C-alpha cells in the first residue's frame, strides 16, 4: 500500500506541473502597476534638449539609401543566413527542413549577383523583410518553449509603406529583391516596391514630413491603400499627403491623399507629457509580433516607433539601439546595484534598458521599483524535471524588472534582471 501511495503521489506531482506548464497565469505586475501610461506622466514635466539634433538625424537616416546609395557589407556578411543550413530547422508544418530545401533557398538567393544593381526604390505597402527569399517559415524546435510560433526565424523585420530602399540584386526567380534600408538588410517581395528615378525623389523629398501618430488606421484613394502604423512617414504639400504607388512598369509615382488631422502630426511631436501619453496609449497592450509579423511589434520595433513620433531615430534591433544614445554598461553589477544605477541615472521615457535579445523603455519608478514599458512574449519558467517553459504574456505591458516572480514555476536562475547588460540614455550625446 505504501508503494502504491508513492506511485499515486508521484503521478499527482507530474499532473500538477504539467497543468502549470500548460496554463498561462496573468502576472501580478499587471494588477499591481497601472497599465495606463497616463498614470506615469501626469503632473510631470518632460523635455528633450537635443530633439532638433535628433530630428535632423532622423531624416538623414531615412533618406540615406537614396542620398548615399552604397552597400558597405560584404557578401559573407550579407549571406549570414546560409549558416541556418547547419542547424536543425523546422518548417511551418513542423517537418524538418532538408538539405535540399536549404540548397534551393541558397541557390535562389543568387548572391553571385550581390551589389550588381544598386537600384533606388520605395515601398508601396507595408511588407515583411525575409531572411531567405521565400514566405515559408523557419522555426527551431517548435515543441520547445519559445521556439515555435511566432518565432519565425525567416522573418527578419517588417517595413512600412513610403520607405526608401536600395536594391542590391534580385533572386534567381525574380520574385524577390535583396534590399538595404536605413538600418537592416533582407529580402522583400518584388510586388511591394516601385523603382524611383531622380525626378520622383525630387518631388517626394518635400522637406515637409508628417508622421502618423495613430496606430492601425486605413488610408484610401477611391479604394483601400494600406493599414497605417504609427510612425509612418508622409511627405506633404498644402495638407495633401504623398503616398508612393507604381505604374504598369513598376515605376514609382505619387498619389495624394487626405488623412484625418487627429491621426497625423505635420512635424515631429513636441516631447512633453501630453504627447508622450498619446503615443504610449496607442501602443500599450498591442499584441506581440516577432520581427513585425502579422503587422504587430516586437520589443525593438515598439521602441523604434515610439520615438519616431518625436523625430528621434532608433535602429531596428535591440543590439543596434544601444548605439543610439549614451550607453552605460552594468552587466557585472549585482541586481541590487543595477536597480540603484537605473534609479539614479535613468531618465523616464528617455532611457532604454537592454539585455541580450530584449529592450525596454524605462518610464520611472514607484517606491524605488524601476518600471518599464515593453512588448514581451512571456516569462521564462521551469517545470517538471527542470524543463524550460513559458508563461505567455504576448503584448505590450508596464511592469517591474522582475515581472512574474510570484509564479510557482518562475525561473529564478535566469531572470530578466539577471540578464540586464546596460542602459541607454537618449537625451545625451
Last residue of a domain, one of 224, 247, 265: 265
Task: Clarify whether residues 258 and 394 are in a common domain.
Answer: no
Task: Clarify whether residues 195 and 124 are in a common domain.
Answer: yes
Confidence bin at 16 (pLDDT 50/70/90): very low
Task: Clarify whether residues 244 and 365 are in a common domain.
Answer: no
**Using H for helix, E for strand and C for coil, what is the string for the chain?**
CHHHHHHHHHHHHHHHHHHHHHCCCCCCHHHHCCCCHHHHCCCCCCCCCCHHHHHHHHHHHHCHHHHCCCCCCCHHHHCHHHHHHHCCCECCCCCECCHHHHHHHHHHHCHHHCCCCCEEEEECCCEEEECCCCCCCCECCCCCCCCCCCCCCCEEEEECCCCEEEEEEECCCCCEEEEECCCCEEEEEHHHEEECCHHHHHHHCCCCEEEECCCCEEEECCCEEEEECCCCEEEEECCEEEEEEECCCCEEEEEEECCCHHHEECCCCCCCHHHHHHHHHHHCCCEECHHHHHHCECHHHHHHHHHHCCCCCCCCCHHHHCCCCEEEECCCCCHHHHHHHHHHHCCCCCEEEEECCEEEEEEEEECCEEEEEEEEEEEEEEEHHHEEEEEEEEEEEEEECCCCCCCCCECCCCCHHHHEEEEEECCCC
Confidence bin at 50 (pLDDT 50/70/90): confident
Q: What is the pLDDT of residue 6?
A: 45
In a domain, 9, yes or no: no
CATH number at residue 393: 3.90.1720.10
Range of the structural domain that residue 159 is part of: 52-265
Calpha distance 291→230 (Å, rounded): 16
Task: Clarify whether residues 361 and 231 are in a common domain.
Answer: no
Task: Clarify whether residues 245 and 159 are in a common domain.
Answer: yes
In a domain, 302, yes or no: no
In a domain, 284, yes or no: no
How many structural domains compose the chain?
2
In a domain, 380, yes or no: yes
Residue 429 has pLDDT above 80, yes or no: no
Task: Clarify whether residues 93 and 222 are in a common domain.
Answer: yes
Last residue of a domain, one of 246, 265, 284: 265
Task: Clarify whether residues 259 and 346 are in a common domain.
Answer: no
Which tens digit of pLDDT belongs to each residue from 316-359?
Answer: 999 999 999 999 999 999 999 999 999 999 999 999 999 999 99
Residue 108 has pLDDT above 90, yes or no: yes
In a domain, 277, yes or no: no
Task: Clarify whether residues 34 and 114 are in a common domain.
Answer: no
Q: What is the pLDDT of residue 7?
A: 41
In a domain, 370, yes or no: yes
Residue 131 has pLDDT above 60, yes or no: yes
Residue 20 has pLDDT above 60, yes or no: no
In a domain, 276, yes or no: no
Range 407-411 average pLDDT? 94
Task: Clarify whether residues 254 and 358 are in a common domain.
Answer: no
In a domain, 283, yes or no: no
Which tens digit of pLDDT belongs to each residue from 198-243?
Answer: 999 999 999 999 999 999 999 999 999 999 999 999 999 998 999 9
Task: Clarify whether residues 32 and 116 are in a common domain.
Answer: no
Task: Clarify whether residues 237 and 99 are in a common domain.
Answer: yes
Task: Clarify whether residues 392 and 337 are in a common domain.
Answer: yes
Residue 247 has pLDDT above 60, yes or no: yes
Amino acid at each position: 500500500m505504501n508503494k502504491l501511495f508513492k506511485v499515486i503521489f508521484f503521478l499527482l506531482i507530474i499532473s500538477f506541473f504539467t497543468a502549470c506548464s500548460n496554463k498561462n497565469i496573468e502576472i501580478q505586475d499587471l494588477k499591481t502597476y497601472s497599465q495606463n501610461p497616463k498614470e506615469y506622466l501626469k503632473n510631470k514635466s518632460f523635455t528633450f534638449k537635443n530633439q532638433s539634433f535628433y530630428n535632423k538625424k532622423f531624416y538623414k537616416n531615412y533618406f540615406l539609401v537614396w542620398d548615399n546609395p552604397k552597400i558597405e557589407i560584404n557578401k559573407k556578411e550579407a549571406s549570414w543566413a546560409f549558416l541556418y543550413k547547419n542547424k536543425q530547422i523546422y518548417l511551418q508544418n513542423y517537418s524538418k527542413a532538408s538539405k535540399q530545401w536549404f540548397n534551393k533557398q541558397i541557390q535562389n538567393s543568387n548572391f553571385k549577383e550581390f551589389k550588381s544593381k544598386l537600384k533606388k526604390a520605395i515601398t508601396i505597402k507595408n511588407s515583411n523583410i525575409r531572411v531567405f527569399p521565400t514566405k515559408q517559415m523557419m522555426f527551431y524546435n517548435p515543441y520547445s518553449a519559445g521556439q515555435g510560433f511566432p518565432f519565425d526565424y525567416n522573418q527578419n523585420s517588417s517595413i512600412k509603406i513610403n520607405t526608401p530602399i536600395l536594391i542590391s540584386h534580385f533572386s534567381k526567380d525574380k520574385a524577390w529583391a535583396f534590399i538595404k534600408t536605413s538600418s537592416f538588410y533582407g529580402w522583400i517581395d518584388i510586388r511591394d516596391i516601385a523603382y524611383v528615378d531622380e525626378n520622383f525623389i525630387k518631388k517626394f523629398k518635400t522637406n515637409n514630413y508628417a508622421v502618423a501618430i495613430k496606430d492601425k488606421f486605413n488610408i484610401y484613394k477611391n479604394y483601400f491603400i494600406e493599414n497605417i502604423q504609427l510612425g509612418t512617414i508622409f511627405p506633404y504639400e498644402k495638407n495633401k499627403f504623398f503616398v508612393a504607388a507604381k505604374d504598369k512598369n513598376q515605376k514609382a509615382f505619387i498619389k495624394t491623399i487626405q488623412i484625418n488631422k487627429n491621426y497625423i502630426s505635420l512635424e515631429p511631436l513636441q516631447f512633453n507629457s501630453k504627447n508622450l501619453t498619446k503615443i504610449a496609449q496607442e501602443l500599450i497592450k498591442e499584441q506581440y509580433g516577432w520581427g513585425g509579423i502579422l503587422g504587430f511589434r516586437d520589443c525593438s520595433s515598439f521602441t523604434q516607433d515610439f520615438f519616431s513620433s518625436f523625430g528621434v531615430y532608433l535602429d531596428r534591433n535591440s543590439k543596434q539601439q544601444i548605439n543610439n544614445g549614451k550607453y552605460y554598461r552594468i552587466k557585472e553589477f549585482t541586481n541590487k546595484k543595477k536597480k540603484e544605477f537605473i534609479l539614479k541615472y535613468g531618465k523616464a521615457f528617455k532611457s532604454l534598458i537592454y539585455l541580450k535579445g530584449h529592450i525596454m523603455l524605462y518610464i520611472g519608478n514607484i517606491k524605488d521599483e524601476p518600471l518599464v514599458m515593453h512588448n514581451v512574449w512571456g516569462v521564462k519558467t521551469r517545470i517538471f524535471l527542470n524543463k524550460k517553459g513559458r508563461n505567455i504574456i504576448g503584448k505590450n505591458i508596464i511592469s517591474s524588472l522582475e515581472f512574474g516572480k510570484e509564479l510557482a514555476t518562475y525561473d529564478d536562475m535566469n531572470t530578466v534582471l539577471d540578464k540586464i547588460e546596460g542602459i541607454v540614455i537618449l537625451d545625451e550625446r
